[in-house]
A and B are shown apart, each in its own frame.
Chain A
Amino acid sequence: MKNYICYEFSLDPLQPAGEILVSALADLDFESFEDTETGLRAYISEADDRTSEVAECAREYADIGVKGYRREVIPGQNWNAVWEADYPSVRAGDAVLVRAPFHPADPGVETEVVISPKMSFGTGHHATTRLMLLFLADTDVRGRRIADVGCGTGVLAIAAVLRGAAAAKAVDIEDIAVENTEENAALNGVKIDVEKGGAEAVAGLRFDLILANINKNVLCRDMSVYSKSLNEGGTLLLSGFFTSDTDEVRASAGDCGLKFEAERAEDGWASLKFIKTA
């Protein structure tokens, strides 16, 4: 879990110093901000911290009300722990159950995936995960080589292996997701090749099925990589975008030699299935 730095600025008057600081600090890779009664808190990961530039910024805007600031290290921790301590298990259709280690096992279900999320995405509570699992349950993955791009908890890759996939590679740009997928693979007793990275981490490899639950822009940007990494007749399952975005995703896939096969939707979120034609 990454450490973060909080800079708490004292401002008087609060505006326009607050918003001017936000505009300046945003360019210094600060990610998020919070107004307080006496000023502004600005947050950046410790790895990206810019102490001298912040000091420069505070000096420069002293005349419009920046009175000073203090810097505090916020140690990384599982901020999602409260929710993760007590949530319901999730079914995706009849075939798949996603549960936490603290839920009782259900021997009656075809595929049971145990996930301890630790702040990674993919517990089955979001519609996009369920939609992908429903498509996966409809796809014969036995003996297939699969890739999960943007794996989060690794739930999709783990479900695929539990349903008979011969080999699975899972990649994510976030360190915590890479660690978490490894932990969850062990929890389920499956072997997954986990690597830090985005679509480039699967480029040059070949798969029969690629799963990617990310977002529209990243999916469209990386569509040609997915297509080139699929064997002919292979399947691409995508989600992470709204039903209003499906035309754009379908057009992007079509441009890369992927034939539209099916669509699922829930709560305004969509999932699309494509087949590699040539």
Chain B
Amino acid sequence: MAREVTGMIKLQVKGGAANPSPPVGPALGAKGVNIMEFCKQFNARTQEQAGKVLPVVITVYGDKSFDFIVKTPPAAVQLKEAAKIKSGSAESNRLKVGSVTWDQVKAIAEDKMSDLNAFTVESAMKMVAGTARSMGLNIKGQKPF
């Protein structure tokens, strides 16, 4: 018999950095899940992406056990990485204008297709390109569509 699902929790947590503080602590703690068990597993599984924001979907079962899936970073995080922009100061993010290539947009679009609810790579690319422009990134090269 399938285990009874008592909760689905969607968060975005930096790789290797889950700790029992909010939002992980209250979200899991309220369901009686052993938070430290989740943190140990999440951090071990994401250690190669330490510091990178990763969406995680946690399923909690009636016996207080859980499992979780880790997705790839949001498109905006991937775009920032592709453009090699690193902020972290009070300086305006958009003053640090960078650029990405259409190939990079395509790679990110393919990676995020299922999360973007897009049926074709082209429509996913358009969404990612829109995000890039909203971030102040230029897209270099010939538009492929």
Contact = CB atoms under 8 A, between A and B. Distances in A.
A-B interaction? yes
Interface of A: 2, 4, 6, 15-17, 19-20, 22-24, 26-29, 31-35, 41, 43, 45, 52-53, 56-57, 60, 64, 74, 76, 79-83, 87, 117, 119-121, 123, 125-126, 128, 152, 215-217, 240-242
B26 to A, nearest CB: 6
Listed residue (A34, A35, A241) with the most chain B CB atoms within 10 angstroms of its CB = A34
B76 A79 contact: no
B144 interface: no
Given A6-B22, A53-B89, 13 more contacts: A16-B76, A16-B135, A23-B79, A23-B135, A26-B53, A27-B87, A31-B19, A33-B11, A79-B28, A79-B35, A83-B32, A215-B43, A215-B44
Contact of A215 (B11, B16, B75): B16
A79 B26 contact: yes
B86 interface: yes
Closest 8 CB pairs of A and B: A79-B25, A79-B29, A19-B74, A16-B131, A19-B76, A33-B12, A23-B76, A27-B88
Nearest to B27: A34
B25 A83 contact: no
Contacts of A242: 44
22 contacts: A6-B22, A20-B76, A26-B53, A27-B86, A31-B21, A32-B13, A32-B24, A34-B12, A57-B93, A79-B25, A80-B29, A82-B29, A82-B32, A83-B64, A117-B36, A119-B35, A125-B34, A126-B36, A128-B40, A215-B43, A217-B16, A217-B50
Interface of B: 10-14, 16-37, 39-40, 43-44, 47, 50, 53, 64, 74-77, 79-80, 86-90, 92-94, 127, 130-131, 134-135
B98 to A, nearest CB: 12
Listed residue (B21, B29, B75, B80) with the most chain A CB atoms within 10 angstroms of its CB = B21
Contacts of A117: 36
Contact of B47 (A4, A80, A216): A216
A128 B37 CA distance: 10
Contacts of B89: 53
Listed residue (B12, B14, B17, B28) with the most chain A CB atoms within 10 angstroms of its CB = B12
Given A43-B23, A80-B35, A216-B44, A19 B29 contact: no
Contacts of A125: 34, 37
Contact of A60 (B16, B28, B92): B92
A74 B22 contact: yes
Contacts of A128: 40
Contacts of B11: 32-34
A93 to B, nearest CB: 20
Contacts of B92: 56, 60
Nearest to B51: A26
Contacts of B43: 215
Given A16-B131, A23-B76, A56 B90 contact: yes
Contact of A43 (B22, B79, B88, B90): B22
